[in-house]
Amino acid sequence: MSKFPDISNLRAKLLKEINDIKSLDQLDNIRVSALGKKGAITSLLKNISSQTIEVRKDFGEQVNALKRQITDEIEICKSALQQAEITKKISQDAIDVTLPLTNTNLENGKIHPISQVTEEIIEIFSDMGFNIAEGPDIEDEHHNFNSLNIPESHPARQMVDTFYLPGKDGNSRLLRTHTSPVQIRTMMREEPPIRIIAPGRTYRSDSDQTHTPMFHQVEGLVIDEDANMGQLKWCLEEFCKAFFEVENIKMRLRPSYFPFTEPSLEVDIACQKDKNRLIVGEGSDWLEVLGSGMVHPQVLRNVNLDPSKYKGFAFGLGIDRLAMLKYGMTDLRSFFDSDLRWLRHYGFRALDIPSLSRGLTE
């Protein structure tokens, strides 16, 4: 009989061990004990050379078959174990995405409607070539009144209730009642052609649902040799269309009076109430939105411009009022209340930056 050992026991033992293992480590131990340098199968193969030819052939075939079988079994077992391990890891690592977040900064913070609307206005006027000018909130009578053709005893001074400060160095001080003094400062500083808007805070001693002692205006001023009322109309029409985001706007220019413009106009835009919503641009009611006119020749002379050479137009509109019309707030006082609930409701997202190319409003 054959002189080589019976390998069926070894096969049975190895297969049982493979079958019983629980982990990849154990499997590797089995692999080493069977197929490693000193493994059982490896030793058998080393013995083959000392056998006779006939035995060698037969025995060699059997051992090699055993080696293939065990190698395959180990591979199968290994991939099964790996799969199980991955599955286990995946199931262990699963998270409950429905759990609440605690701090979503981008949603908590909001931009105040006045900032937003100011940026919208700047965006529109800068497209029409206007620069942005600014001036001080604390003004003197010279810039706020006299230079604007409103002398002391003029009844127009009674049109507004001015806040006064004690004055300094023999010069009166007051809180500007309009952004118009920026016109004067700009014309004193720059040579025509001038094309500016000046947004900012303004102050009048007044308080009710639609008046607050502080509010916001934006002044517009164009000085050029060929500025005229037609351009003013174009400018205001284009602005209103862009701001209210409508194709057409029905507009009415009503002759009026401001001491610093001649001729003067008030501008109404058509509107209608649809249930509780105000539709701007069409309808049978009128909404007063701004005052404007050709710069008064006396104002030009006051800033050393020759009215026979230069002309200009100016306009002033209420930023808060425009915000109310566009976004539906009803009480101006709440703009300045800092009430978080109001700010959350009417505020704008931090990244909602007004832009003409992307659309003014989202």
Partner 1 sequence: MKFTLSWLKDHLTTNASLDEICDKLNMIGLEVEDVFDPSETYKDFTICEISSIKKHPDADKLKICTLNTINGIQDVVCGANNVKEGMKAVFAPEGSYIPGLSMILQATKIRGVKSSGMLLSERELSLSDEHDGILELDPKSHIGNNIYDQINKSDPVIEISITPNRSDALGVRGIARDLSAANIGKLKPLKATKIIGKYDIQKKIKINKDVESNIYASFRLIKNIKNCESPKWLKNRLEAIGLRPINALVDVTNYLTYDLNRPLHVFDYDKINEGLEIRKAKAGEKILALDDKEYNLSRSHTIFSDDNNPESIAGIIGGKRTGCNMDTVNVLVESAVWDKINIADTGRELNINSDARYRNERGIDSGFNNSGLDKAVEMIKEICGGEISNIKSVGKPLNRQEKINFNLDEVSRLLGVSFKKSDINQILKGLGFSLSEKNKKIEITVPSWRHDISENACIVEEIMRIKGTDNIKPIPLKKSVGVASKKINRAQKIRFNIKRILASRGMMETVSYSFISDKIAKLFYQVNDDLRLLNPISMELNVMRQLLMPSLLLSVKRNLDKGQKDISLFEVSNCYSGVNPEDQFEFASGVRLGKAISHGGNSDWRGNSRDYDSFDAKEDIIAILRSEGIDDSNYKITQDAPPILSSR
Which tokens is 85 given? 């391990």
Shortest Å, Cβ 113 to partner 1:
9
Query: Of the candidates 31, 110, 178, 321, which one interacts with partner 1 according to CB under 8 A?
Result: 110
Are 139 and 176 in contact by the 8 Å Cβ rule? The answer is: yes
Query: Of the candidates 59, 120, 218, 311, which one interacts with partner 1 according to CB under 8 A?
Result: 311
338 CB-contact burial (10 Å; exposed 0-12 / middle 13-18 / buried 19+): exposed
Is residue 257 a contact point for partner 1 (CB under 8 A)? yes
Q: Which is nearer to partner 1, 11 or 241 (CB)?
A: 241
Are 322 and 79 in contact by the 8 Å Cβ rule? The answer is: no
Q: Could you tell me how many residues make up the chain? A: 362
Is residue 102 a contact point for partner 1 (CB under 8 A)? yes
Q: Which residues 203-242 are close enough to bind partner 1 by CB under 8 A?
A: 203, 205-207, 212-214, 222, 228-231, 233-235, 237
Query: Of the candidates 8, 164, 285, 345, which one interacts with partner 1 according to CB under 8 A?
Result: 164
Strands 171-175 and 138-139 come out as antiparallel
- Give me the residues paired with residue 318 across strands: 217
Shortest Å, Cβ 353 to partner 1:
7
Three-state secondary-structure class, residue 124: helix
Are 181 and 135 in contact by the 8 Å Cβ rule? The answer is: yes
Q: Which is nearer to partner 1, 155 or 359 (CB)?
A: 155
Amino acid at 88: K
Is residue 256 a contact point for partner 1 (CB under 8 A)? yes
Is residue 175 a contact point for partner 1 (CB under 8 A)? yes
What is the C-alpha to C-alpha distance for residues 329 and 318, in angstroms, rounded to an integer? Answer: 14
Q: Which is nearer to partner 1, 59 or 260 (CB)?
A: 260
Is residue 358 a contact point for partner 1 (CB under 8 A)? no
Q: Which residues 26-85 are close enough to bind partner 1 by CB under 8 A?
A: none
